[in-house]
Amino acid sequence: MEFKTIEGGVCAAKGFKASGVYCGIKENPTKKNDIAMVVSDVMCNTAGVYTQNKVKGAPVIVTKKNLEKSGGKAKAIIVNSKNANTCNADGEEKANEMCRLTAKALGIKPEEVIVASTGVIGQVLPIEPIVKAVPQLAEKLSYTGNIEAATAIMTTDTVKKEYAVEFEIGGKTCRMGGMAKGSGMIHPNMATTLNFITTDCAVSVPMLQKALSEIVKITYNCLSVDGDQSTNDTCMLMSDGLAQNPEITAEGADFDTFKAALYQVMANLTRMLAKDGEGATKLLTCICSNAPDLDTAIIVAKSVIRSPLFKCAMFGSDANWGRVLCAIGYAEADFDINKVDVDLGSRAGKIAVCRNGAGVDFSEDEAKKILTEDEIEIYISLNQGNAQATAWGCDLTYDYVKINGDYRS
């Protein structure tokens, strides 16, 4: 399906406002925004997916409880960077306080607030800066405040991440947009990073959750930077219904269109997250095709994209295709390795490096030229079916170690 790409990020959909300010959660001489708010004009149907890490940030726990209390309804988001509010004895107390402060400023109930945090784990979250910031955020809310909010959720990110599309359902023009953050501690397993998506398309809570869970599987869950799964991973999808289309309450053509739009937003955000991996110089996209089923295609593509040895080879522009085969070989799926083909590609061209599970002659110079580009594709054909999946990642560089060697300081 074709979708019109539009501006506006998390404010692209009708009825959504956002803001961001610097409150000083962590002293920063550049005074970059470190707390954001997103608010809908009306109550929203809301769906979410969260980290599967046994250690869960307090905001994850509180947000899940809030949505259970409200029956899948929410009106606002409050999110801070610099401090994850995780592994703290007073974590839930602080997360609940963030909801209470937001609710008071907006005249809503605390359980109608989504709360999220990202940053350093195990450091107590100072609440005083947030107490001062929430009224400022409420006052600054704007239908064009998406950039202020998107920059406020950045940690080691080097660029903000936003994407939005326009589409039609039931004769009504609908919009969907989102913002994401993430650069490190990213591993493909349930809602990697922080992601907030808004839409004015009317969708029931059950169908919203179904769409989100299905599209997460083939986007964010197919993303890996370093193999470490965050404790705070959260992906929220809010629908205010202001496009006034007939509410989507069951599967069908309208639901398929909605899912396709959601895929466009989430896949593009996933790609941005991968390209901005900590210390990364190259975006890696692995396409596994001709697999016996979707799950096998996903498992194989993810296995390759998260291989440290392969990621290092890509940093060095080394066509060490054996590392691709090695990663395919330990993928926990059932297929015949002796039927596997591998090609490497980029805007500089495409080259075959493996056929039927064995190497083929190729020009090292040509391969080097292809792999020197900043966006690399790895094409894997299992030749054992019709299913296909894509996974995204980045190379592993010296700078990744440098960034994480002094992350707290």
Q: What is the pLDDT of residues 167-178, one digit of tens each?
A: 999 999 999 999
Q: Verify that 228 and 141 share a domain, yes or no.
A: yes
Average pLDDT, integer, range 226-236: 82
Question: How, if at all, do strands 375-381 and 349-355 pair?
Answer: unpaired
Q: How confident is the model at residue 185 (pLDDT cuts 50, 70, 90)?
A: low
pLDDT of 187 strictly over 70: no
Structure tokens given for 70: 């409200």
Percentage of residues of the chain with pLDDT beyond 90: 83
Average pLDDT, integer, range 62-87: 96
Last residue in a domain, options 275, 308, 336? 275
Q: Verify that 160 and 192 share a domain, yes or no.
A: yes
Q: How confident is the model at residue 12 (pLDDT cuts 50, 70, 90)?
A: very high
The pLDDT value recorded for residue 283 is: 96
Enter the pTM of the model: 0.92
Q: What is the pLDDT of residues 82-109, one digit of tens each?
A: 999 999 999 999 999 999 999 999 999 9
Q: How many CB atoms lie within 10 A of CB 303?
A: 25
Q: Which residues of 29-51 are buried (b: 16+ CB within 10 A; e: fewer)?
A: eeeebbbbbbbbeeebbbbbbbb
The residue among 53 and 260 whose pLDDT is bigger is 260
Any idea which residue has 């999220």 for tokens?
A: 116
Question: How, if at all, do strands 349-355 and 358-359 pair?
Answer: antiparallel
Task: Give one word for 105, left, alpha or beta, with left for phi > 0 and alpha for psi -120 to 50.
Answer: alpha
What is the domain count for the chain? 2
Candidates 235, 251, 237, 249; CA nearest to 72 is 237
Q: Verify that 147 and 12 share a domain, yes or no.
A: yes
Q: What HEC string does the chain produce?
A: CCCEECCCHHHCCCCEEEEEECCCCCCCCCCCCCEEEEEEEEEEEEEEEECCCCCCCHHHHHHHHHHHHHCCEEEEEEEECCECCCCCCCHHHHHHHHHHHHHHHHCCCHHHEEEEEECECCCCCCCHHHHHHHHHHHHHCECCCHHHHHHHCCCCCCCCEEEEEEEEECCEEEEEEEEEECCCCCCCCCCCCEEEEEECCCECHHHHHHHHHHHHHCCHHHEECCCCCCCCCEEEEEECCCCCCCCECCCCHHHHHHHHHHHHHHHHHHHHHHHCCCCCCCEEEEEEEEECCHHHHHHHHHHHHCCHHHHHHHHCCCCCHHHHHHHHHCCCCCCCHHHCEEEEEECCEEEEEEECCEECCCCHHHHHHHHCCCEEEEEEECCCCCEEEEEEEECCCHHHHHHHHCCCC
Any idea which residue has 């996933």 for tokens?
A: 270
Last residue in a domain, options 258, 275, 292? 275
Query: What gap in Å lies between CA 209 and CA 218, rounded to an integer?
Result: 15
Q: How confident is the model at residue 144 (pLDDT cuts 50, 70, 90)?
A: very high
Q: Verify that 234 and 298 share a domain, yes or no.
A: no
**Helix 91-106 and helix 128-140: axis angle, to 10°?**
30
pLDDT of 1 strictly over 80: no
The pLDDT value recorded for residue 252 is: 98
pLDDT of 188 strictly over 70: no
- CB 92, CB 62: distance < 8 Å: yes
Average pLDDT, integer, range 17-38: 93
The pLDDT value recorded for residue 28 is: 81
Q: Verify that 334 and 207 share a domain, yes or no.
A: no
CATH number of the structural domain spanning residue 248: 3.60.70.12
Q: Verify that 47 and 179 share a domain, yes or no.
A: yes
- Judged by average pLDDT, the poorest of 157-161, 203-207, 314-318, 331-335 is 157-161
Q: Verify that 189 and 320 share a domain, yes or no.
A: no
Q: What is the pLDDT of residues 372-400, one digit of tens each?
A: 999 999 999 999 999 999 999 999 998 88
Q: Verify that 32 and 68 share a domain, yes or no.
A: yes
Average pLDDT along the chain: 94
Q: How confident is the model at residue 192 (pLDDT cuts 50, 70, 90)?
A: low
- Judged by average pLDDT, the poorest of 48-57, 250-259, 349-358, 375-384 is 48-57
User: What are the distances in angstroms from CA 81 to CA 105, 126, 281?
Assistant: 20, 12, 24
Q: State the residue range of the domain holding 306.
A: 283-405
Q: Verify that 172 and 109 share a domain, yes or no.
A: yes
Q: Among all residues, which ones are annotated catalytic?
A: 192
Q: What is the pLDDT of residues 268-313, one digit of tens each?
A: 999 998 888 888 899 999 999 999 999 999 999 999 999 999 999 9
Percentage of residues of the chain with pLDDT beyond 70: 97
CATH number of the structural domain spanning residue 376: 3.10.20.340
The pLDDT value recorded for residue 247 is: 98
Q: What is the pLDDT of residues 344-375, one digit of tens each?
A: 999 999 999 999 999 999 999 999 999 999 99
Average pLDDT, integer, range 222-241: 87
Q: Which residues of 356-369 are buried (b: 16+ CB within 10 A; e: fewer)?
A: eeeeeebeeeebee
Last residue in a domain, options 275, 300, 318? 275
Candidates 240, 258, 238; CA nearest to 248 is 258
Edge-first strand listing for the sheet containing 387-394:
223-224, 387-394, 283-291, 375-381, 341-346, 349-355, 358-359
The pLDDT value recorded for residue 409 is: 58
Q: Verify that 289 and 271 share a domain, yes or no.
A: no
**Helix 253-275 and helix 205-217: axis angle, to 10°?**
40
Candidates 279, 175, 159, 268; CA nearest to 220 is 268
pLDDT of 184 strictly over 80: no
The pLDDT value recorded for residue 245 is: 98
Q: Verify that 79 and 129 share a domain, yes or no.
A: yes
pLDDT of 231 strictly over 90: no
pLDDT of 407 strictly over 80: no
Q: Verify that 137 and 162 share a domain, yes or no.
A: yes
Residue type, 85: N
The pLDDT value recorded for residue 277 is: 80
Q: What is the pLDDT of residues 307-342, one digit of tens each?
A: 999 999 999 999 999 999 999 999 999 999 999 999
The pLDDT value recorded for residue 156 is: 80
